[in-house]
Chains A and B, each alone.
Chain A
Amino acid sequence: MNEIPPNQDQADEVDNRYRRESALDPSRPSESVRRAVLEHATQLAAERSAKNGPAQIGAARPAANPRWWRPTAFGTLAAAALAGLLIIPRFLAPDAPLVGALPTVPVRTNAAATAASQAEIREQPQDAMADVRPSSPPPPEESALQPDERALKPRVSSRNEGTVADSAAEIDAKNAPAKVQSMTNPRSTAAGGGSETDARRAQTRGATGISASPPQSTAPTAQSAGSPRQSVAPAASSAAPTAPPARLADSAAEVRRAAEIGAVPELQTLLGQQGDIDARDESGRTALMLATLSGQSRAVDMLLAHGADPNAADAQGVTPLQAAIAGDRPAIAAALRRAGAR
């Protein structure tokens, strides 16, 4: 024990010699031991497999577990029944199914672009706005529609059937007139001129509750779709002091909408009826700003001619002239400058 410990090289030499000589050692455990060990291990493995097998299957496949079978099956059936209740009414609707409606949208845009009538060009964006609104029912005079518009109609009507209540919740006092306008007879303007626009506006006022009588020209489905607006009407009529401001606000919204879409005849009519031409929307944008942003030069000219403020900036401080320059609309910018825009 008092010997000097060997260094690492000596230890390696001993280890290497041990391994070398061990490799030559013919000693082996008995074959019977090897056989007994392997048989025992195989037996234990078989017992383990038999014991763990069902548990592993249950963990990997929860649905195969008897405890989960019933909830899984009933849940699947309930989901399928619910889906059926939601989907089947759409297929049973009298209108055409949804399939085929969407691809016609670009065609409709092209047809609008090639239309000869300027009024028709102005009205078609209005129709497009009506199409995306959730409360537009199918008009009864379907024969008056262009083919591409008819293709759009089923989508609107099928959506209305199940979402009348939702649509009513979405309608606020300001936007309701425009929506009702498109609901009552949105397609009639496609072939018409200014007189039909006036008639539609008259219908709009009737439907918003300014007149107590509901619109008579609407189809039965439109009646159901119009129920939200009818529910609004009594509140407006019962609260008499609030009706005039609501009408003014509605008119201002109509002006802005007409300016934005370039509906010049309608805009001209509206400008002759209401006072505040510079009424703003929730973003502080006037009708002039909206017409500028959407490039409606004729609407801009008309608004300026009726005294619209050319420097009325929006909530962000952007003036119509700045918007025209930013939107690369030199004609509108020139008109605004002529009107004193800075």
Chain B
Amino acid sequence: MTVTGESDETLMGRYGRGDAAAFELLYRRHEMRIWRYLVRNVGNRATADELMQEVWFAVARDAARYEPTARFTSWLFTIAHNRMIDSIRTSRRQLSLETLGYESESVVRQLTADPCSGPLAAAVARDQAGALLHALEQLPVEQREAFLLQVEGDLSVEEIAAITDSSFETTKSRLRYARTKLRELLKEHA
């Protein structure tokens, strides 16, 4: 997790005092986690890119006011969650399974057709990533987000409940049903 051995909170403190290198370390440490959380929730690469930039801009802007009362990852995913909700509201889209499911088909195609990958690798990735994303797309929005927060953010049930403004039991149930559904879907795909 760590490149330099310094904690996220320490790096945030350094960046808050003007150390740009600390921010780059933080960004590279959490870049892919935030990216996967966003792109697999919104199902659109362009939107995910836009949200990605907004999230990290917010991190950079609020670094001076950041206080390590909670884990940095919890704070970071809270920003990502709020930005994602705002983006969805702004585009007047409904945060519903149907809407995201519709867009996710094109996202799968975009992801698997990444020009950085070779033809064979793209074929393998298409098959594997397609199965995974397809299973995720079929989860209810709340379950998918809770699952992604846990596996990408390494967040606890309490932290996820706080981020999504849900109760502990509700969050726990969402996680439980999400895994059950994923397991069944992946078995079907296999």
Mutual binders A and B:
yes
Interface residues of B in 132-187 (CB under 8 A from A): 132, 150-151, 173, 175-177, 179-180, 182-183, 186
Interface residues of A in 12-43 (CB under 8 A from B): 13-15, 17-19, 21-22, 24-30, 32-34, 36-38, 40-42
Contact of A238 with B by CB under 8 A: no
Interface contact A11-B56, CB-CB below 8 Å: no
Interface contact B116-A28, CB-CB below 8 Å: yes
Interface contact B27-A41, CB-CB below 8 Å: yes
Contact of A3 with B by CB under 8 A: yes
Contact with B along A252-263 (1 / 0, CB 8 A): 000000000000
From B1-9, B13-21, B82-90, the one touching the partner chain is: B13-21
CB distance from B185 to the nearest CB of A (A): 10
Contact of A334 with B by CB under 8 A: no
From the candidates B23, B31, B56, B151, name the one contacting A45 in the complex (CB within 8 A). Answer: B23
Q: A27-B36, A46-B20 are in contact. Are A33 and B183 (CB under 8 A)?
A: no
CB distance from A67 to the nearest CB of B (A): 23
Interface contact A48-B35, CB-CB below 8 Å: no
- Chain B count of residues within 8 A CB distance of the other chain: 48
Instruction: Name the residue on B nearest A38 (C-beta).
Output: B24
Interface contact A24-B128, CB-CB below 8 Å: yes
A interface majority secondary structure:
helix
Contact of A6 with B by CB under 8 A: yes
Contact of B39 with A by CB under 8 A: yes
Interface contact A13-B18, CB-CB below 8 Å: no
Interface contact B52-A29, CB-CB below 8 Å: yes
Q: A3-B180, A15-B151, A29-B31 are in contact. Are A41 and B64 (CB under 8 A)?
A: no
Interface contact A38-B128, CB-CB below 8 Å: no
From the candidates B48, B111, B132, name the one contacting A26 in the complex (CB within 8 A). Answer: B111
Bound complex: CA of A26 vs CA of B115, how far in Å?
A: 9
From the candidates B17, B36, B173, name the one contacting A25 in the complex (CB within 8 A). Answer: B36
Q: A5-B177, A48-B64 are in contact. Are A25 and B48 (CB under 8 A)?
A: no
Contact of B129 with A by CB under 8 A: yes
Bound complex: CA of A40 vs CA of B23, how far in Å?
A: 10
CB distance from A336 to the nearest CB of B (A): 78
From the candidates B15, B151, B177, name the one contacting A18 in the complex (CB within 8 A). Answer: B151
Contact with A along B30-73 (1 / 0, CB 8 A): 01100110010000010011001100110011011000000000
Contact of B98 with A by CB under 8 A: no
Interface contact A30-B128, CB-CB below 8 Å: no
Chain A residues within 8 Å of B180, by CB: 3-6, 10
Interface contact B49-A45, CB-CB below 8 Å: no
How extensive is the interface on chain A, given as a class?
A: 35 or more
Chain B residues within 8 Å of A15, by CB: 150-151, 179
Q: A40-B57, A48-B64 are in contact. Are A14 and B128 (CB under 8 A)?
A: no
Contact of B103 with A by CB under 8 A: no
Interface contact B20-A6, CB-CB below 8 Å: no
Interface contact A38-B23, CB-CB below 8 Å: yes
Most buried by B among A6, A24, A26: A26
Interface residues of B in 110-130 (CB under 8 A from A): 111, 114, 116-117, 121-122, 124-125, 128-129
CB distance from B121 to the nearest CB of A (A): 7
Bound complex: CA of A14 vs CA of B179, how far in Å?
A: 6
Contact of A44 with B by CB under 8 A: yes
Chain B residues within 8 Å of A34, by CB: 27, 31
Bound complex: CA of A183 vs CA of B24, how far in Å?
A: 81
Interface contact A26-B176, CB-CB below 8 Å: no
Interface contact B177-A1, CB-CB below 8 Å: yes
Bound complex: CA of A52 vs CA of B128, how far in Å?
A: 50
10 smallest A-B Cβ distances: which pairs? A49-B18, A45-B20, A48-B18, A41-B60, A37-B56, A41-B23, A5-B176, A42-B20, A26-B114, A21-B132
Interface residues of A (CB under 8 A from B): 1, 3-6, 10-11, 13-15, 17-19, 21-22, 24-30, 32-34, 36-38, 40-42, 44-46, 48-49, 52-53
Task: Given contact pairs A26-B122, A52-B18, enumerate 7 new A-B contacts (beta carbons under 8 Å).
Answer: A3-B180, A21-B129, A21-B132, A24-B129, A32-B49, A40-B60, A41-B23
